[in-house]
Amino acid sequence: MRLKLKLKTVFVLYFMVSLLGLVYALMQLGQRCDCTEHDIIKDRTISRLRGDLHKLQEEAKRSDPTKAPKKTNLPPIYVITPTYARLVQKAELTRLSQTFLHVPQLHWIVVEDSDQPTALVRNLLAESGLAYTQLHILTPKERKLQEGDPSWLKPRGAEQRNEGLRWLREMASTSRGQQGAAADSGVVYFADDDNTYSVKLFDEMRDTRGVSVWPVGLVGGMRFESPVVDGGKVIRFHTGWRPNRPFPIDMASFAVSLHLVVTNPDAVFDGDAQMGFLESSFLQSIITMEELEPKADMCTKVLVWHTRTEKPKMKREDALHKQGLGSDPNVEV
């Protein structure tokens, strides 16, 4: 009898607890929870997953050969840039280097107008992420613009471009010995440090066989100067000043095949050329107008601009310097 009662009690208790549990569960179902914490966790998870997805998509693009052209087979572009020390030099070279980073197979030949390589240019190149060569050659005093001279009085960058050409010819002849005829494949472009370059320009010049040409914006006192093309050939030049020059075009408006540079070892820029004849002094010994290869949609698109950087005024710096309060000279600008 006692045992019977105990079993019955246990059974009733078990039944009650289960029933209570069931009732509680049913009540929870209909109730709203405090979800803000859940939402934050959910949002974080979603944005993390989105980030992961984006990363994977980028990686897939990079490794998909149909979307990214195989870059290593492209002919190299050798860009020769004359440069000289001044307040804006680092800014100019930084802007250029970051444009060039978008161009595959580009080798930057920076030629300083100085008697020694400088630490500023050395460090900038080392940190640029580009393939590069640092050269230097000082413009002789009698050929250099003096303070106060008008900028057109003497050609600028002639010795430096010639030094770049010398390096290229030497490089091609030494690698020819090792690899046979392939050493002079590639294109040479003279990029001044103050111009503005579209990355599309480099696609245009990549397949230059002799000398390729295109328009230049904001040059010669005009909106643009350009070769004029008819039937796929350059027939004259659109320019407002001395159109009868052999090649009335700016340095930024042409590229030359390395082959032509190597097979014409005497073609150089004439540091004594009169105003506006520097480009002609080099081009007339290697090409004729009829042979020029028009690019940029038959010379109808402007992809490079002859921008010039304003010289910064240092009036306040000079005034503070006199009071011993000038900017810290150890900070590189």
CB-neighbour burial class of residue 312 (10 A; exposed 0-12, middle 13-18, buried 19+) = exposed
Backbone angles phi, psi at 257, to 5 degrees: -70, 145
Binding string, residues 81-120; x marks residues near ligand UGA by CB under 6 A: xxxx----------------------------x-------
Q: Which is nearer to ligand UGA, 82 or 186 (CB)?
A: 82
For residue 82, CA distances in Å to 119, 191, 260 come to: 16, 8, 21
- Taking the complex as a whole, the smallest distance from the CB of residue 282 to ligand UGA amounts, in Å, to 11
For residue 226, CA distances in Å to 149, 152, 253, 273, 332 come to: 28, 21, 8, 22, 39
Q: Which is nearer to ligand UGA, 97 or 160 (CB)?
A: 160
User: Which of these ranges, 49-57, 59-67, 79-87, 237-245, lies near ligand UGA under the rule CB under 6 A?
Assistant: 79-87
- Taking the complex as a whole, the smallest distance from the CB of residue 165 to ligand UGA amounts, in Å, to 14
Q: Provide the annotated active-site residues.
A: 279
To 5 degrees, how large is the angle CA 308–CA 309–CA 314? Answer: 150
- Taking the complex as a whole, the smallest distance from the CB of residue 308 to Mn ion amounts, in Å, to 5
Q: Which is nearer to Mn ion, 194 or 270 (CB)?
A: 194
Binding string, residues 125-164; x marks residues near ligand UGA by CB under 6 A: --------------x----xx-----x---xxx--x----
90: tokens are 């680092």
**Which residues ranging from 294 to 323 are in contact with ligand UGA (CB under 6 A)?**
306, 308
Q: Which residues contact 173 (CB under 8 A, 6 or more apart)?
A: 183, 262
Q: Which is nearer to ligand UGA, 258 or 278 (CB)?
A: 278
Question: Are residues 202 and 130 in contact, defined by beta-carbon separation less than 8 angstroms?
Answer: no
Which H or E run contains 45?
helix 36-63
d(CA 163, CA 82): 9
Q: Which is nearer to Mn ion, 169 or 306 (CB)?
A: 306
Binding string, residues 242-261; x marks residues near ligand UGA by CB under 6 A: --------xx----------
Of Mn ion, ligand UGA, none, which one sits near residue 193, judging by CB under 5 to 8 A according to partner kind? ligand UGA
d(CA 195, CA 309): 9
β-pairing verdict for 222-230 and 233-238: antiparallel
Beta bridge partners of 302: none
Other C-beta atoms closer than 10 Å to the C-beta of 107 total 18
193 binds ligand UGA (CB under 6 A): yes
**Which residues ranging from 211 to 230 are in contact with ligand UGA (CB under 6 A)?**
none
Q: Which is nearer to ligand UGA, 107 or 156 (CB)?
A: 156
**Which residues ranging from 182 to 211 are in contact with Mn ion (CB under 5 A)?**
192, 194
Q: Which residue is nearest to Mn ion (CB)?
A: 194
By CB under 6 A, name the binding residues for ligand UGA: 81-84, 113, 139, 144-145, 151, 155-157, 160, 192-194, 250-251, 278, 306, 308
By CB under 5 A, name the binding residues for Mn ion: 192, 194
